[in-house]
Amino acid sequence: MGLRGVRVLTFSGFEMKAFGGFYYEIKKKCMWHFTNISSTWSSMLPTAVLLYGTIKWAEGRFEAEQLSHRD
């Protein structure tokens, strides 16, 4: 039984010997990290914009309804 949702990042000795040492590994981990973050933002951004728009629309409608009841 293993842990789910836990990522372990290690430096492979084979990759360091075959592909250029620590610089290659650090560059690969940084690229993986930043592309993962950018992928998350690009998938979450439309949802966040839609949610923000819906909330602002509901606030405007509620305010208009309150003003019409005031008169």
| CA–CA separation, 68 and 45 (whole Å) | 35
Predicted pLDDT at 26: 79
Predicted pLDDT at 11: 61
Q: Which of 14-18, 33-37, 56-60, 62-66 has the highest mean pLDDT?
A: 56-60
**Residues 32-42: what's their mean pLDDT?**
72
Structure tokens at 69: 């009841």
The more confidently predicted of residues 54 and 17 is 54
**CA nearest to 26, candidates 15, 37, 36:** 15
Structure tokens at 21: 């040492």
Q: How far apart are the first and last CA of the chain?
A: 66
pTM above 0.85, yes or no: no
State yes or no: pLDDT of 12 exceeds 90. Answer: no
The answer to whether 26 touches 10, Cβ cutoff 8 Å, is no
For residue 10, what is the DSSP state? -
